[in-house]
Chains A and B, each alone.
Chain A
Amino acid sequence: MTNMFTNTSLLRKSRAAAELRFRWFGRIAIGISLAFLFIMVGSIINKGKSVLISSDIAIIIDLGPNQVDPNNINQTGFDALIKRSLRATFPEITSRSDKKKLYGLLSADMGFELQKQIIANPNLLGISQKLWFTASDDVDLLLKGSVDLTTQEGDRRISNLEINWIAKLKKSGNTRSHFNKKFFMNGDSREPELAGILSALVGSILTLSVCFFVSFPIAILAAIYLEEFAPKNKISSFIEVNINNLAAVPSIVFGLLGLALLLNVFGLPRSTPLVGGLVLSLMTLPTIIIAARASLRSVPPSIREAALGMGASPIQATFHHVVPLALPGILTGTIVGMAQALGETAPLLMIGMVAFIADVPSSIIEPATALPVQIFLWADASERAFLEKTSAAIMVLLVFLILMNLLAILLRKKFEKRF
């Protein structure tokens, strides 16, 4: 008797323990997934936030009449002028390799920057004065404290000599840091300190516009037909199976389709937002159709019956009464589809939107790149300064995705009707 009693209590204990274990498995699984999300986003923000600040270096430049000819600014050798001024700031430097390092403190664009400053403000001419220039990427990282100074000199991209020069400049107040406008105003560049995301952003916007204007009308009409008009026959169910399968086809296959059909057969221009948008629209079609159908299905039949009963034709009943009620849901699905398209990279690589594009594209038939492709390109670049650029570009991409999803949620909340 007592034996049996202890057995059941033991059993009960082990069953309760199993219950608890099982519950904790679930909690741990969710915990790991969410921890990964936070670590990933956190590490990207951590790496990318420093991009918001960029550093300048000031040097004294003699723009006297014997250095610059006011009537002939474009012909002046500004690079040489700046190099001369740099040498004057550090007169102790004599060896050729050190001089080269010295010139490398400033961005490769320094001559052009000086020219721009003079054109913007001709009063600078004729006197010798302190002017600000963009620091090179390595100096920028050093000034932002992103360089680990405890490592061996050979292991970092910046030597002790250069660190001393910068320390000297810093002491005399000749360095400053400010909000990095260039990152948002420039196109891509080989020089990390000049590279920006504007061209990729505009490319993405153009591509998404093409994608929207192609996929939205087609998807919405297809969804209306399949949900409201299609007879229940083999062809309809074949179309349905087709759409469901297309939604799960790997995105790179759509890229192959774009390459073989749009570029090689139809001869559309390579690397352009037009082709990119078309390929992405084929990809987002199934997403929008599925969402739109679900939304149309949620409109109760009584609405249709009432419209038909008042003498509306099926088309009128659909377009005047059912579609407006389903529209918020359709738009939500469309925005989700567009957000997917915005983050898509692989098909764009296939159709050549992976080229180096420095200029901001102004039409859909000019070569362009897109934000995720820019991230891919920068992630591959060797300079350490591109690491923070990549993280920052990811942050910009995520901000856009969050905004789109917020819009979708707001739409759903605001117009959601329960029938």
Chain B
Amino acid sequence: MIAQLLESNEQFDVDSPNMPNEAVTLSKPFNITTRNSSNIGEYAIKFIMVACSMVAIAVTVGIVFSLFFESISFFQRVSISEFLFGTKWSPQTALRADQVAAEGSFGAVPLITGTLLISFIAMCVATPLGLFSAIYLSEYASRRARNVIKPLLEILAGIPTVVYGFFAALTVAPMLRSTGENIGLNVSSESALAAGLVMGIMIIPLISSLSDDVINAVPQSLRDASLGLGSTNSETIRKVVLPAAIPGISGSLLLGASRAIGETMIVVMAAGLAANLTANPLEAVTTITAQIVALLTGDQEFDSAKTLSAFALGLLLFIVTLILNMISLKIVNKYREQYD
């Protein structure tokens, strides 16, 4: 009988810290070693798990440091004010020291305006399409239609950006160009419009699925109250649901904008490298990400201003997208709590 008890105690006691004291003392001679080793094992597992979750912090720190240090050595060659406010971007550095125009100019303004122009076009496409899709899916569509349409829209999100870039460069851009010719407009073959349009389509699923969640989180009681007062569905949506969901929707739009600013392949393939300072969507512009790719692909010396400028651009990109992301995540989370 006692032996049985001890046996069972041994089984139980190995891992349970909350057993009554009696049992612990009873079983001690039998399992003290297993108990210790299992505790050590558990500590080791816990330690590994903590270390793994620290990797996320390590990655962030790694990004910040690697961008920061390279940027500092860039700003030792080119002043920050020239980088942020200069309007000429031509990162040619000299092959020989005595060459004419040996110093490239590193004014990032054309890149920033180019990025903003393309992102603006993208958001002009994605905001109405994404928002109306979300409203239709969450308020009007039948369950069956929703089950078909939602996964189809998500396919758009799953297509690699290099595919969008190929489509933008080889189908959309020539189409815009020939349409422009027909109506007497001079459209560049690497126009901001082509890249922006396609990028907008890419962002639709992001905005529609986030907004969909937000709209669904608006309590049904608000809708019922509005409908009970005699308003139509669309009036309810416009005057009650959307105002209630506005913070969450703006969060999703910010996230979409951050995605547009950081998007690389579409602009590399469709927007080109001409650093024009223009607001005309029919002209070619370049973006921060396209320049980073252009500066860092192929052979490079690692200590030239040309190469280092890519890291300064990367730092700029990282800071801007980080701020946008943090604001939008905060808005979305806060809003979620409000109705939970």
Q: Is A343 an interface residue (CB 8 A)?
A: yes
CB neighbors of B among A226-249 (8 A): 226, 229-230, 238-239, 241-246, 248-249
Encoded as 1 (CB less than 8 Å from any A CB) or 0, chain B from 190 to 212 comes to 00000000000100110010000
Q: Is B60 an interface residue (CB 8 A)?
A: yes
A335 to B268, CA, bound (A): 27
Encoded as 1 (CB less than 8 Å from any A CB) or 0, chain B from 218 to 236 comes to 0000000000000011110
Q: Are B255 and A282 in contact (CB under 8 A)?
A: no
Q: Are B317 and A253 in contact (CB under 8 A)?
A: yes
Q: Are A248 and B258 in contact (CB under 8 A)?
A: yes
Q: Which of B128, B164, B292 contacts A29 (CB 8 A)?
A: B128
A25 to B234, CA, bound (A): 11
Q: Are A40 and B261 in contact (CB under 8 A)?
A: no
Q: Is B92 an interface residue (CB 8 A)?
A: no
- Name the distance in Å between B151's Cβ and chain A's nearest Cβ: 9
A352 to B302, CA, bound (A): 14
Q: Is A189 an interface residue (CB 8 A)?
A: no
Q: Is A173 an interface residue (CB 8 A)?
A: no
Q: Is A7 an interface residue (CB 8 A)?
A: no
- Name the distance in Å between B306's Cβ and chain A's nearest Cβ: 14
Q: Are A252 and B264 in contact (CB under 8 A)?
A: yes
- Which of B82-90, B100-108, B322-330 lies at the binding interface? B322-330
| Given A34-B153, A252-B292; A29-B129 close (CB under 8 Å) | yes
A23 to B292, CA, bound (A): 43
Chain A residue nearest to B49 (CB atoms) is A225
Q: Are A245 and B326 in contact (CB under 8 A)?
A: yes
User: Which of B133, B289, B318 has most A Cβ within 10 Å?
Assistant: B133
Q: Is A218 an interface residue (CB 8 A)?
A: yes
Q: Are A376 and B162 in contact (CB under 8 A)?
A: yes
Q: Are A218 and B261 in contact (CB under 8 A)?
A: no
- Name the distance in Å between B16's Cβ and chain A's nearest Cβ: 4
| Given A376-B265, A397-B163; A256-B140 close (CB under 8 Å) | no
> What B residues does A37 contact at CB under 8 A?
152, 155-156
| Given A34-B152, A37-B155, A257-B59; A343-B49 close (CB under 8 Å) | no
- Which of B62-70, B180-188, B274-282 lies at the binding interface? B62-70
- Name the distance in Å between A342's Cβ and chain B's nearest Cβ: 8
Q: Which of A34, A217, A289, A313 contacts B149 (CB 8 A)?
A: A34
Q: Are A23 and B162 in contact (CB under 8 A)?
A: no
Q: Which of B12, B55, B137 contacts A285 (CB 8 A)?
A: B55
A254 to B64, CA, bound (A): 11
CB neighbors of A among B238-256 (8 A): 238, 255
> What B residues does A350 contact at CB under 8 A?
292-293, 296-297
Q: Is B120 an interface residue (CB 8 A)?
A: no
Encoded as 1 (CB less than 8 Å from any A CB) or 0, chain B from 43 to 86 comes to 00110111011111101101100110110000000000000000
Q: Are B261 and A250 in contact (CB under 8 A)?
A: yes
A265 to B152, CA, bound (A): 43
Chain A residue nearest to B204 (CB atoms) is A33
Q: Which of B155, B162, B292 contacts A345 (CB 8 A)?
A: B162
A362 to B59, CA, bound (A): 29
Q: Is A27 an interface residue (CB 8 A)?
A: yes
Q: Is B169 an interface residue (CB 8 A)?
A: yes
> What B residues does A390 contact at CB under 8 A?
166
Q: Are A249 and B318 in contact (CB under 8 A)?
A: yes
| Given A40-B167, A253-B318, A349-B297; A246-B59 close (CB under 8 Å) | yes
Q: Are A23 and B140 in contact (CB under 8 A)?
A: yes
- Name the distance in Å between B331's Cβ and chain A's nearest Cβ: 13
Chain B residue nearest to A282 (CB atoms) is B59
Q: Are B166 and A222 in contact (CB under 8 A)?
A: no
> What B residues does A367 contact at CB under 8 A?
none
Interface residues of B (CB under 8 A from A): 11-12, 15-17, 19, 38, 42, 45-46, 48-50, 52-57, 59-60, 62-63, 66-67, 69-70, 128-133, 135-137, 140, 149, 152-153, 155-156, 158-167, 169-171, 201, 204-205, 208, 232-235, 237-238, 255, 258-259, 261-265, 268-269, 289, 292-293, 296-297, 302, 310-311, 314, 317-318, 321-322, 325-326, 329
